[in-house]
Structure 1
Amino acid sequence: MKLEQIRPQDYPGLKRFFEKQAYRLCVYSLPSLLSWNNSVYQPYVAISDDVLMIAAEYDEAHQKDRHLILPVSPSRQFAPDELADIAKKLGYTAYWFVPEDYIHQFGEEQIGCFFDVSEQIGFADYIYRKEDLAELKGNKYSKKRNLIHQFDKEYVQTNRIKTEPITPSLASECLNFLDEWCEERDCSEKQDDLACEKQAAANMIRHIGEFDVKGLATRIDGKIGAFGIASRLTEEIGVLHFEKALAAVKGLYQYFDNLCAKQLFNGYAYINKESDMNVPGLMQAKKSYHPAMMVKSYTMTLR
């Protein structure tokens, strides 16, 4: 098997592997896989019949981070001994982003014959009931509803808001907004996580017409102030890859998040809003929306 780098133009040929994808971690979304691609990190794949082997390659300064994620196939899973053989053949020592479902399915005793298992702190995905985020019922969401009410009164009722789907023709405006969002947070190349996320979001925006994703952008007084992009993860779960809103506008994020839940996830019972990357502020924000479940992520390193 030979690994080859993949790029956005490879999307049509890779779609078939993800049609019955059942892992609940956001990394197993093809649009996400292709978008997280920059000068430090690049995704590679090898194809064997109906199985897609997926690898992460890094620049010289980050070689220790080279890893595989679990193979994706519409017809089968791989037992721990098979994963060990694949890793050795491809020249890797570890799998990252192994969902807790896999650990529970095969058990730590069986996996432990081949791998050392460790939880990836900060990379558990937050999964919410779509109904909860769309309706915001109950006392636990009263603060969210109050902020939305304030925003509605100042901006919506005065016709200062316009929301539209993200199309290729809107890409340049969304990219300009992404720069503004990054400036608001003092985003720089020194902040690896934010810089990499900005690059991934920009990649997805540039290929919005080529990927099976849906996006929304909200304008305030004619200028984009928020955007969100979502796609399929599993039969029951959609994933909200990127959701950005100007923090300076009170209530905008709460209004826009509610809008995304209502408009981007028809047909899904759950919304995956990815991990908090162990960032305290992000952790607090995600917990404030009361996830229905958390899906832990693990590494499995060859013994």
Structure 2
Amino acid sequence: MKESSFKKITIEDQQAIEFYLHKYSTFCLSAFTFSSLVAWESIFHYQWAVMEDTLLIKFVPLEKKQEHFMQPLGEFPPNLQQQIIHHAQSLGYALTIFGISNAFLAKYSEFASHFVQAEHRDMDNYIYLAEDLALLPGKKYQAKRNLLHQFEKNHTWTSENISVENIPACLEVINTIYSQQELDSNSFLAFELRALTFILTHFPRFQEMGILIRINAKPAAFSIFEHLNSSTAVVHFEKAIRQYKGLYQLVNRETAKIILKKGYKYINREEDLGIEGLRKTKLSYHPLELCPAHALVFKR
């Protein structure tokens, strides 16, 4: 496997990479979208190559210093499988392949037998019924409905689709939110700000959708989401000014309403990264299931 075959993911690579993402990535993990890959490239150092009609993506996870792989997408013939195994044998560390689907494990069991399967609960994706998040039905969502009722009683608000014209308003929301926090340049919040700013700056280039919430005509919250597969939309970002109690619940509901109206049955709200508060919030919306993010660790 030639290292020279790999190159940094840039926005100009969209068409070539999306060909494989759309054709072969039919499962539920949010990382397999071009916008996510290119927005986080400067943090995870994503590189890509196509070998034997297979998309290979390697990157450097935050907690590690070595390069690892994401699940190959494409034909992935035996010859390429052997190349990856030989590459793993040549390394001074245990190569890990992240984002492995159940279908991959079943189809390439011989290849997988050279690895130990590992689970990464922090990276499991939360999958919800779009109808649940749009309508918040039943007793289990009573607390969410109460917060929404309180918000709507106290505030006049509007919702609009994100477009080139109101991207500056979204950036205004970001500046308000992040200016209230002390950001270490190597913190996850700083990385997230970099990725989010990239997405908004290049918004017209992607197949992204989004809504902007205004309170008394002032920008206050927004979300960014996109098509993941035929039945699922993925919400990449959701931001709200915290001084408005119930605003996060509002942007969540309004996003779900649009996704449901567009015909999607499910909503992927990504992972919790092991952050306790984030996990508590995601669980409070009663996910239908967690999409497992398997990993394969090479047997040295």
Q: Same fold (TM over 0.5)?
A: yes
Is 1:52 aligned to residue 55 of structure 2? yes
The structure-2 alpha-carbon separation of the partners of 1:104 and 1:149, relative to structure 1 and needing over 3 Å to count, comes to: farther
Could you tell me which amino acid in structure 1 is paired with residue 113 of structure 2? C
Per-residue CA deviations over 1:39-75 (Å, capped at 9, x if unaligned) read: x42211102354211111479x9523x21101223xx
Unmatched runs of 5 consecutive residues or more in structure 2: none
Alignment match, 1:28? 32
Distance 2:132 2:61 in 1: 39
Contact 2:100–2:294, Cα closer than 8 Å, also in 1: yes
Contact 2:130–2:266, Cα closer than 8 Å, also in 1: yes
Corresponding residue to 1:167 among 163, 169, 172: 163
The Cα shift of 1:269 comes to 0.9
**Structure 1 runs (4+) greater than 6 angstroms displaced:** none
Alignment match, 1:85? 83
Please identify, of 98-107 and 267-276, the stretch whose mean Cα deviation from structure 2 is larger.
98-107
Q: How do 1:122-137 and structure 2 match up within 5 A?
A: 122-137=122-137
Unmatched runs of 5 consecutive residues or more in structure 1: none
Contact 1:187–1:195, Cα closer than 8 Å, also in 2: no
The structure-2 alpha-carbon separation of the partners of 1:13 and 1:220, relative to structure 1 and needing over 3 Å to count, comes to: same
The structure-2 alpha-carbon separation of the partners of 1:84 and 1:251, relative to structure 1 and needing over 3 Å to count, comes to: farther
Alignment match, 1:238? 233
Distance 1:6 1:28 in 2: 13
Could you tell me which amino acid in structure 2 is paired with residue 67 of structure 1? H
TM value normalised by structure 1: 0.86
- SS of aligned partner of 1:231: strand
Distance 2:172 2:69 in 1: 34
CA RMSD of aligned residues (A): 2.5
Distance 1:28 1:243 in 2: 19
Contact 2:61–2:68, Cα closer than 8 Å, also in 1: no
Alignment match, 2:116? 116
Per-residue CA deviations over 1:93-114 (Å, capped at 9, x if unaligned) read: 221222355446656xx56630
Alignment match, 2:296? 300
Contact 2:9–2:37, Cα closer than 8 Å, also in 1: no
Alignment match, 1:280? 276
Per-residue CA deviations over 1:73-127 (Å, capped at 9, x if unaligned) read: 3xx4668x954633645977221222355446656xx566301221123111100
The structure-2 alpha-carbon separation of the partners of 1:129 and 1:101, relative to structure 1 and needing over 3 Å to count, comes to: farther
Aligned residues: 290
